[in-house]
Structure 1
Amino acid sequence: MRGAPRTSAIAAVAAVAALTLAACGGNGGEPESGGSGGGGDEVEVFTWWAAGSEKAGLDALVGVFEQQHPDVTFVNGAVAGGAGSQAKDLLQTRLQAQDPPDTFQAHAGAELQDYIDAAQIESVTALYDEFGLTEAFPSDLVDRLTADDGEIYSVPSNIHRANVVWSNPQVLTDNGIDPAATYADLDAWMADLDKLKAAGVTPLAVAQAWTQVHLLETVLLADLGVEGYSGLWDGSTDWSGPEVTAALEDFEKLMGYTNTDRDGLDWPESQQLVIDGKAAFTVMGDWAEASYVEQGKKLGSDYTAFPVPGTDGVFDFLADSFTLPVGAPHPDGAKAWLETVGSAEGQEAFNKAKGSIPARTDVDMSTFGEYQQSAAESFKSDAIVSSLAHGAAVPVATLTAITDATSKFTSGASDLAGFQSELAAANAG
């Protein structure tokens, strides 16, 4: 399940297969709790999509679900909180108490490791055959979703890109910066950030800790490149090495351009700083696209979007997906939900609202917005790596340790050497 660069269809499949996530056990691809009969009258869907474009996407998906499965009652188990931190804590409590929801949202990839190891989710491989998903999803995506035991444990609803810079062209123009400028690397970008800071403008908006980890991963990708960044997750890149030190120095510089109220904000609020002209740039995944669309903004005139400097030609990948928990009280309802999640109709409705792109290859992208069409083309042609901050690259426990270390560093509770040491320790296991 761990991502690797894609430079061609054949190379991608081989590379991804070599980095797939180790998972314990399996049940031959047949969901134990999803047998015939029982539990089909309702489905509790547990997510962190409680507000904004995320809720809009969920609502759109529910609309399709109710059309496809009118006899199954949808029960919204959404829990508010940026990047799902509160939801994940509550979910773990419920799973440990053997009180699972019927299905829950999780990022596809290494984030599923802990649930698989704890025998808390079941294989849904048989559903891929039943719903025709093996043919509908790109082969390299299927490889990313397949564990070393040959089983698949979730159905993705979308594909997101993490390494995106969003800007306010008017703020840039007002401060003598070309809004159409391209940046070869972080140093070139930071030269313009210096100009903005000198003018008293907030150059770069961020929010609470997870958004800072999101920024960190894009800096690591920009400075280390595809091979070096991917090596952080397979052990071939030394977290204690000088290349990582240099990247962390760039991260420290970038944090120096950010808003001082960052720890009290969630990502929609930091995004809004850019939309409202109170900040020039922000780095956020392409779920941010929906924020602009909702407010009637036009790509090119009201905002721009481009890969984080130094990452052009790279697609920093993550995907929201849904699982089948062991002991789900309404397994047939969960199966019905997974069918809608994977369907062309469900993916079209959901992704138009959320700003992401469908995981399926047979959805007509001509009806999507300009940004989403460009993202879909990039996903076909760019090198693909797995997101750190959004569960594709590392298990939950590792991400938690990285987030804690990042929070300490950005709040001034540790120095750069200590930060690097803690990152190395977090990835030592």
Structure 2
Amino acid sequence: MRKTLAAIAGLIVAGLALTGCTGSTDTGENGGDTSQVDVFTWWASGSAKTGLDALVAVFDEQFPGIEFVNAAAAGNAGSDAKNVLASRLKANDPPDSFQAHAGAELTDDVDAGKLEDLTSFYTQNGLTDVFPAALLDRLTLNGKIYSVPSSIHRANVVWLNTALLTKVGIDPTKAPADLDAWLGDMKKLKDSGVGTPLSVAADAAQVQLFENVLLSVLGAHDYQGLWDGSTPFGSAGVTKAIDYYDRLLAYANTDGAGQSWPAATDRVIDGDAAYNVMADWALAEFDAKGKTYGQEYTTWPTPGTDGVFDFVAESFTLPVGAPHPGAATSWLKTVSSADGQKAFNLANGSIPARADATATDYPLYQQGAMASFANDTLVSSLADGAAVKVSWLNDVTSAIGQFVSSKDVGALQDALVQAQSKGLAG
């Protein structure tokens, strides 16, 4: 019954080659040279590269006269690539399109005049009818839209090893009601000889765990208020969240600061850890290791966040001064098309941004994620660029990194208050 995501994507792309080809080259609304499109991403390896290849295959069918130039840059979960991209934009040497997290992450580039307004692209291509209104709200900056999402990821997901939990008498199919109950299960695991109940990684993964705790303690409304200032970081709720975060880390591996997110996920896959909080790009890691959803592993929303979808959207832009703007517009058409989104997300383990996608075309985990995305309260991920601009996120990441070493609750909260003040000030 099980097929790997990559294999399914291959079948889909093959089918699209027969049925989805336009057979023409589109000059795009912006005209110009459409001989090639230079696309910058950090999808240089693994399932992300498989997904990109699947998307490019659809692009080649839809626009056979345009050469796709892969300008992917690898390293450090995308942060190295972002540094390279920032240098190119500063030097007015943009690619034709680049990958970004949709939402507030693009604020600095928008304010600097580095991105074209794509609002008319949305209306001309019917995207306002097929992208959910809550998503469109979070794609909008100052009344305009500057990126086109290729996929949606959920950030409030716990991945767990079913055999490890079953062995100590914990039902892996039943999520703890709240963080206290989850901590109780971790104590039970620790007392039973499990050395690492919770597997953690460095930097962005630590921030992602912390944002999950904030969401659990504060609830969707007050969590979202952190980013517009209606919920101050100096509040008692944030103090409580920091305390819970500290208690969770007591059950985590001590080498997290030097561990990548795939390595943290692999600890759960290998049975060395019971839990890992990670966005659902982790699905492809389980799939690559031949594990079956609902058998060797399963998932549930982070305790206290059921009914909330903490969203991340991978997206593509049209930079000001793109060498081939017409070809870039054609690329964005493929990215947003039903065929392009289906091919990419089947390979990548994510879900389509389009509300008209057919859930039964996807494996079980993605079907559940699609239902949650359609029905749950949508909030913006901090760690993955949706909630705040880059400088604010960098300040939070630095503060979390220091806390992992010092465990100084007061110092962390003070740093978060300062980060919020700076971020809201502009």
1:427 aligned partner: 420
Partner of 2:388: helix, strand, or coil?
A: coil
Describe the superposition over 1:184-205 as per-residue Cα deviations: whole angstroms up to 9, x where unpaired.
Answer: 1011001111122231431111
Partner of 2:151: helix, strand, or coil?
A: coil
Alpha carbons 1:220, 1:244 under 8 Å: kept: yes
1:222 aligned partner: 216
Alpha carbons 1:100, 1:327 under 8 Å: kept: yes
Alpha carbons 1:103, 1:324 under 8 Å: kept: yes
Which amino acid in the other structure matches residue 42 of structure 1?
Q
2:180 aligned partner: 187
Which amino acid in the other structure matches residue 144 of structure 2?
E
Residue 165 (structure 2) pairs with residue 172 (structure 1): yes
For residue 44 of structure 1, report the CA deviation from its aligned partner: 1.4
Residue 82 (structure 2) pairs with residue 73 (structure 1): no
1:210 aligned partner: 204
Of all paired residues, the percent bearing the same amino acid is 55
For residue 61 of structure 1, report the CA deviation from its aligned partner: 0.8
Equivalent position to 1:97, from 68, 91, 97: 91
Alpha carbons 1:201, 1:280 under 8 Å: kept: no
Unmatched tracts of structure 2, length 5 or more: 1-26
Describe the superposition over 1:212-263 as per-residue Cα deviations: whole angstroms up to 9, x where unpaired.
Answer: 0000000000011112111111111121122111100111111121112222
Describe the superposition over 1:150-171 as per-residue Cα deviations: whole angstroms up to 9, x where unpaired.
Answer: 3211101111110000000111
Q: How does 1:44-55 map to 2 (within 5 A)?
A: 44-55=38-49
Deviates more, 1:386-395 or 1:122-131: 122-131
Residue 144 (structure 2) pairs with residue 143 (structure 1): no
Instruction: Tell me the distance in 1 between the aligned counterparts of 2:265 and 2:366.
Output: 18
TM-score when normalising by structure 2: 0.90
For residue 59 of structure 1, report the CA deviation from its aligned partner: 1.3
Which amino acid in the other structure matches residue 197 of structure 1?
K
1:162 aligned partner: 155
Instruction: Tell me the distance in 2 between the aligned counterparts of 1:123 and 1:143.
Output: 15
1:64 aligned partner: 58
Unmatched tracts of structure 1, length 5 or more: 1-32
Alpha carbons 2:355, 2:374 under 8 Å: kept: no
Q: How does 1:121-140 map to 2 (within 5 A)?
A: 121-140=115-134
2:287 aligned partner: 293
1:6 aligned partner: none
For residue 180 of structure 1, report the CA deviation from its aligned partner: 2.1
1:268 aligned partner: 262
1:395 aligned partner: 389
Alpha carbons 1:165, 1:282 under 8 Å: kept: yes
Deviates more, 1:35-44 or 1:47-56: 35-44
Instruction: Tell me the distance in 2 between the aligned counterparts of 1:124 and 1:82.
Output: 30
Instruction: Tell me the distance in 2 between the aligned counterparts of 1:317 and 1:147.
Output: 17
Instruction: Tell me the distance in 2 between the aligned counterparts of 1:223 and 1:62.
Output: 41
Instruction: Tell me the distance in 1 between the aligned counterparts of 2:376 and 2:263.
Output: 30
Alpha carbons 2:160, 2:268 under 8 Å: kept: yes
2:250 aligned partner: 256
Alpha carbons 2:309, 2:379 under 8 Å: kept: yes
Residue 352 (structure 2) pairs with residue 358 (structure 1): yes
1:382 aligned partner: 376
Alpha carbons 1:82, 1:267 under 8 Å: kept: no
For residue 295 of structure 1, report the CA deviation from its aligned partner: 2.7
2:10 aligned partner: none
Instruction: Tell me the distance in 2 between the aligned counterparts of 1:45 and 1:401.
Output: 29
Which amino acid in the other structure matches residue 176 of structure 1?
G
Describe the superposition over 1:259-302 as per-residue Cα deviations: whole angstroms up to 9, x where unpaired.
Answer: 12222221111111111111110000111112222333221111
Instruction: Tell me the distance in 2 between the aligned counterparts of 1:202 and 1:131.
Output: 49
Instruction: Tell me the distance in 2 between the aligned counterparts of 1:147 and 1:81.
Output: 29
Instruction: Tell me the distance in 2 between the aligned counterparts of 1:324 and 1:193.
Output: 46
Deviates more, 1:339-348 or 1:353-362: 353-362
Instruction: Tell me the distance in 1 between the aligned counterparts of 2:77 and 2:287.
Output: 21
Alpha carbons 1:165, 1:307 under 8 Å: kept: yes
Task: Go from structure 1 to structure 2 and tell me whether the alpha carbon gap of 1:74 and 1:68 turns closer, same or farther (over 3 Å shift).
Answer: same
Task: Go from structure 1 to structure 2 and tell me whether the alpha carbon gap of 1:314 and 1:36 turns closer, same or farther (over 3 Å shift).
Answer: closer
Which amino acid in the other structure matches residue 140 of structure 1?
A
For residue 90 of structure 1, report the CA deviation from its aligned partner: 1.0
Instruction: Tell me the distance in 2 between the aligned counterparts of 1:211 and 1:426.
Output: 19
Partner of 2:64: helix, strand, or coil?
A: coil
Q: How does 1:6-85 map to 2 (within 5 A)?
A: 36-85=30-79
Alpha carbons 1:43, 1:330 under 8 Å: kept: yes
For residue 330 of structure 1, report the CA deviation from its aligned partner: 1.4
For residue 82 of structure 1, report the CA deviation from its aligned partner: 4.2
Task: Go from structure 1 to structure 2 and tell me whether the alpha carbon gap of 1:119 and 1:275 turns closer, same or farther (over 3 Å shift).
Answer: same
Which amino acid in the other structure matches residue 339 of structure 2?
E
For residue 123 of structure 1, report the CA deviation from its aligned partner: 0.5
Deviates more, 1:205-214 or 1:414-423: 414-423
Task: Go from structure 1 to structure 2 and tell me whether the alpha carbon gap of 1:152 and 1:320 turns closer, same or farther (over 3 Å shift).
Answer: same
Which amino acid in the other structure matches residue 157 of structure 2?
V
Which amino acid in the other structure matches residue 428 of structure 1?
S
For residue 327 of structure 1, report the CA deviation from its aligned partner: 0.6
1:325 aligned partner: 319
1:19 aligned partner: none
Alpha carbons 1:44, 1:102 under 8 Å: kept: yes
Which amino acid in the other structure matches residue 189 of structure 1?
W
> What's the Cα RMSD here?
1.5
Instruction: Tell me the distance in 1 between the aligned counterparts of 2:122 and 2:221.
Output: 31
TM-score when normalising by structure 1: 0.89
1:26 aligned partner: none
Query: How many residue pairs align between the two structures?
Result: 395
Which amino acid in the other structure matches residue 235 of structure 2?
G
